[in-house]
Structure 1
Amino acid sequence: MTDSLIARYNVAGPRYTSYPTVPFWNKAAFTTHDWQQRLTTAFANSNYTDGISLYIHLPYCESLCTFCGCNKRITRNHGVEEPYIDALLAEWELYCDWLPERPRIAELHLGGGTPSFFSPHQLRRLLTGIFRWADPVGDPDYGWEGHPNNTTGEHLQTLYSFGFRRVSFGVQDYDPAVQRAIHRHQPFANVERVTDQARAIGYTSISHDLVFGLPFQQLSSIQNTVAQTLRLRPDRIAFYSYAHVPWIRGTGQRGFQDADLPDADQKRALYETGRALLEAGGYSEIGMDHFALPHDALYQAMQTGTLHRNFMGYTTARTNVLIGLGASAISDVGTAFMQNEKEIGAYQDRIQRDELPVLRGHLLTPRDQFIREQILNIMCRFETSWSANDWTETEWNGIDGLLDAMMADGLLDYDHTRLRVRPAGHPFLRNICMVFDQYLAASSVSQQPLFSQTV
């Protein structure tokens, strides 16, 4: 039965960090003026009560990991650090100059790329500049991503002094053959070192990122990697499906042959093996791709229904405003999305001209917002509900038949006003969300692939 489900549901589909997903944004109807108006309104309505979220993209890496689909630039020239930090601070000042009051930062995340590519001095300069124009809320949630090979105790201490209590370390897989294929050479000792250092400093949530479906990965690779991970017992674990999207990243994801990748059935077996080992080790599955121990805030947010998903991934609370700084960063104000220039040079040029580096965006219609809530509920709570008249007859006819098939396959239960995902449906959350995606349903078949496979 499992093999037949994989064959049926292993299709290309979004990960739903947003709805609509980026390929379906209506860029023609988007203007920077509209974006600023919607941002200002959302900010004025929530900054004082809830604060805002801030994502800062730090795109540099010293070496290329061939599994990575992130927006990054590979260089060993650390002279790029200072001008890039200058641009980030200038972009933040542009925002703060026209926002109606001083921002209060509830969530702050440094992503990449490799944030630990930057020296502790430059990160201190960045955060000093950010908080020159803003204040933290009373109980903030700040996190960052570190590479075990170049994260130092000074990195950890510097960010801790600014209120960071979460850190995630990319592990991927400890198998030497897999590491060679993805060009990610890092021994267990380095991961152990930074995990122990973070705990000693006082970080309260340490995460390890693992990936299944990588080239040459075997069941033994997953078993060994999870066993090593359980020795260190991070507070939360991201257990991601490798997204093979070489048409987006070109040669960066062509460091191995397609034949070196596990097929869909093998990949699902890797996931099921990893999940069983993690759950036996005391971890609970949170939404999609995540696991946490019961004391961790991510687990608690899942239990209380406050778990949220946005362009930073899963978060423990929801703010109405997420501002993204840096090349390719995406902002979200509930009624609009905006993405910055993706190319670093173009991003810096726009900043030097005192312009917001807007590349594209989307103004959400009321219909977009309603469907977005349904998808968020499924992704974060494994259930959702609606009124019987919330769907047009045409929409419901399309949805109803697909849900019927999924219920027959044991993935979910539903009626005309609510849906609940069964445990057997958790691995197919992306497919379930796709049922409600009106843009995907209306799109014609494209010759250019858009998304990775769901399995």
Structure 2
Amino acid sequence: MTASAMTFPAPDRRALSDFRALAGRIDGNGPRYTSYPTADRFRNDPDLSLYHDALADCRADAPAPLSLYLHIPFCENICYYCGCNKIITRDHGRSARYVSYLGREMALVADRLGTRREVIQSHWGGGTPTFLDPDEMRRVMALLNEHFALTADGEHAIEIDPRRVDHARMALLAELGFNRVSLGVQDFDAEVQQAIHRIQPFEETRAVVDAARALGFRSVSLDLIYGLPHQTAARFGHTIGQVLALRPDRLSVYSYAHLPHVFKPQRRIDESALPPAGEKLDILVSTIERLTAEGYVYIGMDHFALPDDDLAVAQREGRLQRNFQGYSTHAGYDQVGLGISAIGAIAGRYVQNARTLDAYYGALDQGRLPLARGVAMNADDHLRREIIGDLMCNGILDLPAIEARHGIDFSRAFSAELADLGRLSEDGLVQCEPGRITVTPLGRLLVRRVAMVFDRYLREDAARRADNGAQAANDGAQPIRIVPRYSRVV
């Protein structure tokens, strides 16, 4: 398949118009498919041998390079919308202890990997990674380079809060080897910022972007959120205009999910100020129209990039993938997760660390890896992960190629899925041809809905709900409504 054949066409006005009509009927909460199986399918308290076996198999794959995610959970202030695993504190003494324990975890992982493995892609997330003071950041980077080998030509990114860095701190990040920065913005509107408890003037953000460019960072990414209180299409359009003045290399425009029963800080948000569903949809559609008209490539879901950015290039060349940071440029590398709640994807296993400091420290004090959840993929998981990845990243399923790699008859193995795709084809989301399934420009806007067709776990949930409903009807009782388990964050 050629690179050009794997490139998504840009959403046009007709696709956006059809999206408005369809979204309310067939869109809804669903997995983001940064993994498959999704994180809500991981088993709690798995045997530690799951992680040990994963690292042993990864060791056997040496010298293949790795991807690495490191979680710094601390923040000085609470943002009401946030659903990340974070610890709100102004006690910077807590981070010194955390750095020490990160070193212990790195040593345990590196020892089982056996050699000082190359890292071609790294990402520090949080929380706020720049909560660490300069000496702590140097210490963490020194520990990483002691146990791993971060390649000079790799992608090394860090999430930063523009309110907490200045030119000197940006210079330190460049000195430490970071070449990509991701800045949280959400919205520049003053009333919206007040409502979400995140005051961040435009000029403050522009100073950080200017510093990144002056210091030679390869890429600057901005994160926005739509669906926040007081937002309208017109007001968010003003924010988009300010963003375009900064011309970031990449943009992520996330949908706000109001789940106060899950994320307690969201209880401080005035629900009556949230935009209604129709207005929220207008915000999204107008944002896609504006960004693509200004030359940004719509990568998929919530990601945009300039045409010469590595993300857009990877999409054109068929190298795009999804991992726990969303769309990514490097496919096929095992990912090691470090720090509380960090997730690794290693040799066909997913492993997630303990979510609390006490559990994380307790495991490392006992000299063991801080595993809390995980799952080992089976052959069906591998097959479906590949299918879902192809749909979401490349927009094409090459059926003969999949059949050859996995030794299956696609039409026989996925007869139910093909029937469902036929219905999505009637709505214009996919084109089903002999030997190929293609996601349309409209389907790109609802690509999660297309991918969900191939999620065996969602199908099993639906079957159980149907069985429970039928049993309740037979018993003369009202059927119990079972809410499907969706991974809203990862």
Tell me the TM-score normalised to structure 2 length. 0.87
For the residue of structure 1 that corresponds to 2:262, the secondary structure is helix
In the alignment, which residue of structure 1 is the partner of 2:225?
211
In the alignment, which residue of structure 1 is the partner of 2:31?
14
- The Cα of 1:197 is off from its aligned counterpart by 0.6
Is contact 1:246–1:253 with CA below 8 Å preserved after alignment?
A: yes
What aligned pairs does 1:77-88 form with structure 2 within 5 A after superposition?
A: 77-88=91-102
What aligned pairs does 1:174-189 form with structure 2 within 5 A after superposition?
A: 174-189=188-203
In the alignment, which residue of structure 2 is the partner of 1:116?
130
Is contact 2:411–2:418 with CA below 8 Å preserved after alignment?
A: no
For the residue of structure 2 that corresponds to 1:354, the secondary structure is coil
Q: Which residue of 442, 451, 454 maps to 1:433?
A: 451
Is contact 2:72–2:127 with CA below 8 Å preserved after alignment?
A: yes
Find the aligned partners of 1:423 and 1:64 in 2 and give their Cα distance. 38
Find the aligned partners of 2:184 and 2:233 in 1 and give their Cα distance. 20
In the alignment, which residue of structure 1 is the partner of 2:42?
25
- The Cα of 1:118 is off from its aligned counterpart by 1.4
Q: Which residue of 170, 191, 202 maps to 1:156?
A: 170
Find the aligned partners of 1:436 and 1:416 in 2 and give their Cα distance. 19
Give the RMSD, CA atoms, in angstroms: 2.0
Find the aligned partners of 1:452 and 1:23 in 2 and give their Cα distance. 6
Is contact 1:287–1:380 with CA below 8 Å preserved after alignment?
A: yes
In the alignment, which residue of structure 1 is the partner of 2:486?
451
> Residue deviations 1:285-344, cap 9 Å, x none?
112211111221111111111111111222111243111000000000141000000012
For the residue of structure 2 that corresponds to 1:331, the secondary structure is strand
In the alignment, which residue of structure 2 is the partner of 1:317?
330
AA of the residue aligned to 2:277: A
- Report the identity percentage: 37
In the alignment, which residue of structure 2 is the partner of 1:227?
241
Structure 1 stretch 355-364 or stretch 419-428: which is displaced more?
Answer: 419-428
Find the aligned partners of 1:414 and 1:333 in 2 and give their Cα distance. 34
Q: Which residue of 18, 36, 54 maps to 1:38?
A: 54
AA of the residue aligned to 1:25: F
- The Cα of 1:199 is off from its aligned counterpart by 0.7
In the alignment, which residue of structure 1 is the partner of 2:106?
92
- The Cα of 1:259 is off from its aligned counterpart by 3.2
In the alignment, which residue of structure 2 is the partner of 1:358?
371
Q: 5+ residue gaps in structure 1?
A: none
What aligned pairs does 1:351-430 form with structure 2 within 5 A after superposition?
A: 351-387=364-400, 389-391=408-410, 393=412, 396-415=414-433, 417-430=435-448
Find the aligned partners of 2:270 and 2:398 in 1 and give their Cα distance. 44
Count the aligned residue pairs. 449
In the alignment, which residue of structure 1 is the partner of 2:215?
201
Q: Which one has the largest radius of gyration?
A: 2
AA of the residue aligned to 2:376: L
Is contact 1:120–1:154 with CA below 8 Å preserved after alignment?
A: no
Find the aligned partners of 2:175 and 2:409 in 1 and give their Cα distance. 48
Is contact 1:244–1:452 with CA below 8 Å preserved after alignment?
A: no
AA of the residue aligned to 2:438: R
Tell me the TM-score normalised to structure 1 length. 0.94
AA of the residue aligned to 1:9: I
AA of the residue aligned to 1:329: A
> Residue deviations 1:112-144, cap 9 Å, x none?
011111112211110011101221235211000
For the residue of structure 2 that corresponds to 1:309, the secondary structure is strand
For the residue of structure 1 that corresponds to 2:298, the secondary structure is strand
